[in-house]
Amino acid sequence: MGVLNLSDASIKSGGKRTTFWDQATAWNDGLQLISTQSFSTVSDVDFDNVFSDTYVQYKIVADFTAAGGEFRAQWRASGSDITSANYNQQYLYYRTTTVSGARSTGRTEYEFGNVSAYDCVILEILNPYQTAYTSGALISNVNSETNGTNGSFLYAYGYSATTSFDGIRFFPQSGTFSGTISIYGYYKG
């Protein structure tokens, strides 16, 4: 078993000597937490300045304790909602023995299906900040705790203009919702 001599503070890497402190950035692989918001009975949750050129791909995890119908989202730029009709989506939904799907284009927001207490939603996003087409996928479980059934929504979504976004807004179809939403960036070493 080797011992790291902190007075030397170096390690061997690929046949060359590298300072121990230079390696710290290489150990940051994986998801990096950018922002988390916990909220209770609110009509929307805004995340501003969370997308940047630091990352190209992001993961958003939402855990609901109460919700008002369909979970929706809009991109934001410089603190303002983007409401142009460039939101496109397609989904597949399955629950017990029911399977359905649909496609919609030219929308002013994304609509990600009904959520309720204890539902978890995971979004994968590619290129929100880059001046490129933004696209992604969403997986949402349908709560089996309160209604005795299992199910899921699978969404593919995109924005049909090359626009740079630095934020995102989440809101329920009606009323308020409660829970926690976290945004992570994928390390792009």
Domain count, the chain: 1
CA–CA–CA angle 123, 54, 121 (5° rounding): 10
Strands 177-186 and 57-66: antiparallel
Q: Is residue 23 part of a domain?
A: no
Mean pLDDT of 7-27: 45
Residues contacting 4, CB < 8 A, separation 6+: 11, 20
Q: Is the pLDDT of residue 103 over 50?
A: yes
Q: Is residue 9 part of a domain?
A: no
Q: Is residue 21 part of a domain?
A: no
**Tokens 């919700």 -> residue:** 67
Residues contacting 123, CB < 8 A, separation 6+: 58, 59, 60, 62, 73, 136, 137, 138
The total of other beta-carbon atoms located within 10 Å of residue 89's CB is 19
**pLDDT tens digits along 113-146:** 777 766 778 889 999 999 888 888 877 765 555 5
**pLDDT tens digits along 29-83:** 688 999 999 999 999 999 999 999 999 999 999 888 887 678 899 999 999 999 9
- % of the chain exceeding 90 in pLDDT: 45
Q: What is the domain range of residue 172?
A: 31-186
pTM of the model: 0.79
Q: Is-contact 150 142, C-beta < 8 A?
A: yes
Q: Is residue 122 part of a domain?
A: yes
Q: Is residue 7 part of a domain?
A: no
- Where residue 92 sits, what CATH number does that domain have? 2.60.120
**Tokens 């630091």 -> residue:** 54
Rounded CA-CA distance 128/124 in Å is 11
Q: Is residue 6 part of a domain?
A: no
The pLDDT score that the predictor gives to residue 121 is 84
